[in-house]
Structure 1
């Protein structure tokens, strides 16, 4: 028997270290030649490592979430006969990464208020901690003094009389129940305490945390919010969907993207990337638009390349295609990189307004919020006004104040609002 040391290989991305995401083998297990034994995460992808030998694992580099430097020991394997030379530092890992992900900045789901189905699938979650043991129920309620009417009321509303403080004579009355309800904040006994959960921040969640911190630390954000009347836009969308044939169903997202692309030529500072180390701002001619999407493991941003060159149906197809690719883990690296502007939405959970975090090194991010119906004063066409139910949606934008002035951001949103409120103009040209 002999020992074989597998060292962390250079994956070829110019990295100095990688993170242990998941061990498929533990000390004492047998690993076969060409069998995957651990997943390592770089800044761009999760890469499975394969064993070049068959043997028993004697030692591993560390726990999940720890970092391993290139060239350092990843695993020691006990092999039969004479051990081959230790794996060189430039030894290739498994031929294909499990899933390429964008880690520059990742935001939330890009569905509209009524079609919130863009959430992307994620890597498996860590095994949950054991369920907390519920607090034992008191069993001495029969010893409590109370009238049958008080007991019945307590049963009906789910109160354990043993938890209620009685009067001085030891008897519980209706007033004591009222005091108990006031103290607990509602009907029923207080919920049993739950155990704390400790969740290790590793893998994609660690990357998200690092990139969020870097974005907020390095970029002076400012946000601007404007209300838009989307009644006509939603009516147009309904008409297009009613006559779409075999085309995919339109959400509000393709229409919003088209309006953004039509507005950007007059505001090139919005569709840009800022290399703060080189002191260079690149204003892009093409719109490579990121769609922030929520997954179980974190947030991902597939990118629609040359969005300005696509019509509504092409955008709808591309949104579905990229969502499916990300969900199935088949998205290519180039489909998850190179964004020049990001759109992020919480769909029906969007709230009144958001202040999204910029996808560094981009300089702006746009956040449509939830569509709500509200009465408004509208013109009656005869110089007067009438009250009418309208569909309203706030548009939020966050910008890098080093590159984008407040006036420019406000002017951009006002120009975007004109298109959104006159949606026929979106389809012209």
Structure 2
């Protein structure tokens, strides 16, 4: 799903790898010549030799690009940025003292012709468009002739397509919004979430297409996880009423001080990090081959992020050393960069425990799959108001409306027993229900 930009300007001489063909890392993908053509045999062997040298050099550079592109850490965003950088660099040929005046004139004329043919950012729809961008435009029903490219030389990037799609959606929703909708925000806030927009264009119905690379990787890792470990899920219910009230009081001042919104996830992440310190078996790895258990020295929390490309799980290193504000900023940062394809490969590995917010799509609980080689993953469900039995300090019971949430912990039974999972969840539940975060919020 990535475009590999040519490191040099010239003419494509030979294609070594066809579309959708799987090649080894480091394989030559194509040969690029200087455009002089090999059929002009009477021109002298020096030109032919130069062409061959340039083709070989180009092949070496493309080979290097192939190595980088095949590496798992190469993201689509990085490839597009590399393409823009390559497009903006001067790809000079021979040294000035080795080039004749006539050759300079010819090259200057050629550059002027290319510049004239290159669209600017002010000419919508005329920039260079990669197959990836064309496919994205088709999925979002975006007319590329109306898109203004922001890349080098007017190149249309996928961000331009997504921005155009978002603008069109906002315009459509703005014209369709009724007066009743604008006059009833409270009712909308208390109502169940509206039907989520599909992450796949409905126009793909009836089609068969090759799975994107990221989907192939996710499928492989999920299957490997289930094949490797013995997984089961334990569910506890937690009363988040105190945290809900704390957040309502502090969210405005918190955002003003820290520059990010105060969500429920930082509260949960901090409580998880504290619980992992008390229950190191949940913050461990188990090697069946070596018959070894590794208890990790830090709590490196992997946070599942839903992106338009699929599920990514960036890692917050040493989360146990961060306070509530630090966790909120880190979570917002990695989630934003994961969704915009700006996350680094080193930030997508090395986690010791995972958290997935299944409640963001209205789910009460789930049975999440462990992110290997970890031994546990916590799913946080939707927060819902329910009538519950409330016992006061004197032991008297009453019925009250409480904000409740399910915590679902999937654990590897090879290392973690059901009692271990239960004790961890009890520690987590007690910390969250106590809601003692006011000192960190200035309350």
Place the TM-score, normalised by the shorter chain, in its bin: 0.5 to 0.7
Q: Which residue of 2 aligns with 1:227?
A: 237
Q: Offset at 1:280?
A: 2.8
Residue 397 of structure 1 is aligned with which of 391, 398, 409?
Answer: 409
Q: Which residue of 2 aligns with 1:246?
A: 257
Equivalent pair of 1:125/1:297 in contact (CA under 8 Å): no
Q: Offset at 1:88?
A: 5.0
Residue 194 to residue 326, structure 1, CA distance change in 2 (3 Å): closer
Give yes or no for the alignment of 1:59 onto 2:28: no
Distance between the aligned counterparts of 2:306 and 2:140, measured in 1?
26
Deviations 1:286-322 (A, max 9, x none): 1111110111111111111111111101111111222
Residue 101 to residue 357, structure 1, CA distance change in 2 (3 Å): farther
The structure whose residues are more often helix, as a share, is: 2
Deviations 1:337-376 (A, max 9, x none): 2111110012332422110011111111011101111111
TM-score (ref. length: structure 2): 0.61
Distance between the aligned counterparts of 2:413 and 2:289, measured in 1?
16
Q: Which residue of 2 aligns with 1:406?
A: 418
Q: Offset at 1:324?
A: 2.8
Residue 196 to residue 60, structure 1, CA distance change in 2 (3 Å): farther
Distance between the aligned counterparts of 1:319 and 1:125, measured in 2?
32
Q: Offset at 1:263?
A: 1.1
Q: Indicate the structure whose relative CO is greater, using CA pairs within 8 Å and at least 6 residues apart.
A: 1
Equivalent pair of 2:30/2:62 in contact (CA under 8 Å): no
Residue 92 of structure 1 is aligned with which of 64, 69, 73?
Answer: 64
Q: Which residue of 2 aligns with 1:144?
A: none
Distance between the aligned counterparts of 2:205 and 2:270, measured in 1?
49
Q: Which residue of 2 aligns with 1:285?
A: 297
Distance between the aligned counterparts of 1:212 and 1:321, measured in 2?
26
Q: Which moved more, 1:81-90 or 1:359-368?
A: 81-90
Q: Which residue of 2 aligns with 1:363?
A: 375
Distance between the aligned counterparts of 2:18 and 2:298, measured in 1?
44
Equivalent pair of 1:223/1:396 in contact (CA under 8 Å): yes
Aligned pair count? 302
Q: Offset at 1:51?
A: 4.2
Distance between the aligned counterparts of 2:13 and 2:268, measured in 1?
54
Q: Which residue of 2 aligns with 1:70?
A: 25
Residue 321 of structure 1 is aligned with which of 333, 353, 371?
Answer: 333
Q: Which residue of 1 aligns with 2:281?
A: 269
The structure whose residues are more often strand, as a share, is: 1
Distance between the aligned counterparts of 1:409 and 1:297, measured in 2?
32
TM-score (ref. length: structure 1): 0.63
Residue 435 of structure 2 is aligned with which of 406, 423, 428?
Answer: 423
Q: Which moved more, 1:73-82 or 1:406-415?
A: 73-82
Residue 277 to residue 61, structure 1, CA distance change in 2 (3 Å): farther
Distance between the aligned counterparts of 1:371 and 1:328, measured in 2?
27
Q: Which moved more, 1:83-92 or 1:293-302?
A: 83-92
Equivalent pair of 2:28/2:63 in contact (CA under 8 Å): no
What value does the CA root-mean-square deviation take over the aligned residues?
A: 3.2
Distance between the aligned counterparts of 2:31 and 2:398, measured in 1?
78
Structure 2: gaps (5+ residues) = 38-47, 76-131, 142-202
Equivalent pair of 2:246/2:438 in contact (CA under 8 Å): no
Distance between the aligned counterparts of 1:52 and 1:208, measured in 2?
34
Give yes or no for the alignment of 1:375 onto 2:347: no
